[in-house]
């Protein structure tokens, strides 16, 4: 895992686009992390399928898969 500052992230995204490479930018909020851990979110009830999908998205490991996480998730 590598932490990027906002400008670095935008630069990386632009680099991926300019090189016409495949990539993805994921922005996970605290509710998404809760759902991945089988906990309810303020707006959504957790279930096995949803938790599995969230865990799968969080586990994507590719050089052009950029993920934004809430600050409380990186401690």
**Considering its fold, how many domains does the chain have in total?**
1
Q: Is position 1 within any domain?
A: no
Q: Is position 69 within any domain?
A: yes
Q: Is position 55 within any domain?
A: yes
**Residue 4 has what pLDDT?**
77
Q: Is position 65 within any domain?
A: yes
DSSP assignment letter at 63? T
Q: Is position 54 within any domain?
A: yes
**Residue 75 has what pLDDT?**
46
**Residue 16 has what pLDDT?**
96
Range of the domain at 13: 6-73
Query: Which pTM does this prediction carry?
Result: 0.74
Q: Is position 22 within any domain?
A: yes
> Reduced to 3 states, what is the DSSP secondary structure of residue 46?
coil
Q: In Å, what is the CA distance from 12 to each residue of 2, 3, 7, 36, 75? A: 12, 12, 9, 27, 24
Q: Is position 12 within any domain?
A: yes
Q: Are 56 and 46 in contact (CB under 8 A)?
A: no
**Residue 25 has what pLDDT?**
92
pLDDT mean by block of 10 residues, the chain; 75 residues: 82 95 92 90 89 94 88 59
């Amino acid at each position: 895992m590598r932490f990027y500052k906002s400008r670095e992230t935008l630069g990386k995204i632009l680099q991926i686009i300019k090189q016409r490479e495949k990539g993805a930018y994921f922005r996970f909020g605290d509710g998404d992390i809760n759902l991945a851990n089988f906990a309810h979110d303020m707006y959504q009830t957790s279930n096995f399928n949803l938790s599995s999908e969230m865990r799968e998205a969080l586990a994507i490991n590719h050089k052009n898969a950029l993920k934004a996480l809430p600050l409380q998730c990186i401690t």
